[in-house]
Amino acid sequence: MNAHEQEEDRIRQVLQQSLRPVGAEHEPNRDLWPAMLRRLDAKPASTPWFDWALLAGLVAVAALFPSAIPVLLYYL
Amino acid sequence: MNTHPYLRAYLAGIFIPTLVLPLLLAVFIMARIVVQVPTPIEQVMIFPMAIVPSLFGLWNMLYMVSHPSVHHPIGLHGAVLPLLMAPIGALVATHLNVLQFGSHGLIWFQACTIPYALVVPGFLFAMAAYYLVWKYIVGTLNRILGIA
């Protein structure tokens, strides 16, 4: 074994000592991919009826009192 | 993305006012030039241009600061903002002759009369609009920017 190989061997040993071992105990105890797929496929939360009613009320008020629209825009 | 959270909150907050401002400007210019409504655009634009965006941004920063301890929904947080903005806006508008107190109601922009009986319902109308804007627009932006 020449000096270069000895140096490589020493570096390998130092690296093995400094890095944490990756073994079976560091893996999750179940497959996470199906849960990930379920989350990707999940529909976003639907808008509650209360918010639709509120929006309809706002549209109705704006239609009945159009003079309120510039005032509301003034505050946006 | 954990850097500059306050800056991101501020930017998410000012998104809607800066989007609405050109629209508002277009409406007032149309009203003044096309329909010949004697609206003083210069005075009208001061509050929406100088104060509203900053208030929205600061209010969203306040939400970011207070949410971990209070856990209040962002829609409710936004719905409270008119309580702060209405008096400030009315004060600025009164001093700039944009708002006048007539015998029958509030006269906005020397053109729109809001009867006094409709002031409280109008305020509730504004709170409802703010609730929806903050819940669905500012809240979405907060999620996109990784704040909420």
Quick one: average pLDDT of A58-64?
Answer: 87
Number of domains chain B contains: 1
pLDDT value of position B1 = 56
Domain that holds residue B134: 5-144
Structure tokens at B114: 């809001």
Q: What is the mean pLDDT of chain A?
A: 82
- Partners of residue A51 in chain B, C-beta under 8 Å: 132, 135-136
Chain B residues with CB under 8 Å of a chain A CB are 16-17, 20, 23-24, 27-28, 31, 44, 47-48, 52, 82, 85-86, 89, 93, 108-109, 112-114, 118, 121-122, 125-126, 128-129, 131-133, 135-136
Secondary structure E strands in chain B:
99-101, 105-108, 112-115
Model confidence at B61: pLDDT above 90: yes
Confidence of residue A4 (pLDDT cuts 50, 70, 90): confident
Could you tell me the CA-to-CA distances from A53 to B48, B131, B134 in Å, in that order?
Answer: 28, 13, 16
Question: CB of A16 within 8 Å of any CB in chain B?
Answer: no
Q: Which strands, in side-by-side order, build the sheet including B105-108?
A: B99-101, B105-108, B112-115
Rg (CA), chain B: 17
Question: Which of B20, B47, B131 is nearest residue A54 as measured by Cβ atoms?
Answer: B131
ipTM: 0.73
Closest-CA residue to A71 (of B28, B15, B95): B28
- Partners of residue A73 in chain B, C-beta under 8 Å: 20, 23-24, 27, 48
Confidence of residue A1 (pLDDT cuts 50, 70, 90): low
Mutation choice for A interface testing from B125, B138, B143 by most A CBs within 10 A:
B125
Q: What is the pLDDT of residues B20-35, one digit of tens each?
A: 888 878 877 887 788 7
Mutation choice for A interface testing from B18, B20, B81 by most A CBs within 10 A:
B20
Contact A70 B108 (CB under 8 A): yes
Contact A61 B125 (CB under 8 A): yes
Structure tokens at B88: 């400030």
The CA-based angle B67-B71-B72, given to 5 degrees, is 90
Model confidence at B119: pLDDT above 80: yes
Closest-CA residue to B129 (of A71, A64, A72): A72
Q: What is the pLDDT of residues A18-44, one digit of tens each?
A: 887 666 566 777 888 888 888 888 776
**Where would I find the H helices in A26-74?**
33-41, 49-64, 68-74
Structure pTM? 0.73
Structure tokens at B136: 């669905």
Give the chain B residue nearest A73 (alpha carbons).
Answer: B24
Confidence of residue B122 (pLDDT cuts 50, 70, 90): confident
The alpha-carbon gap from A58 to the nearest alpha carbon of chain B, in Å, equals 7
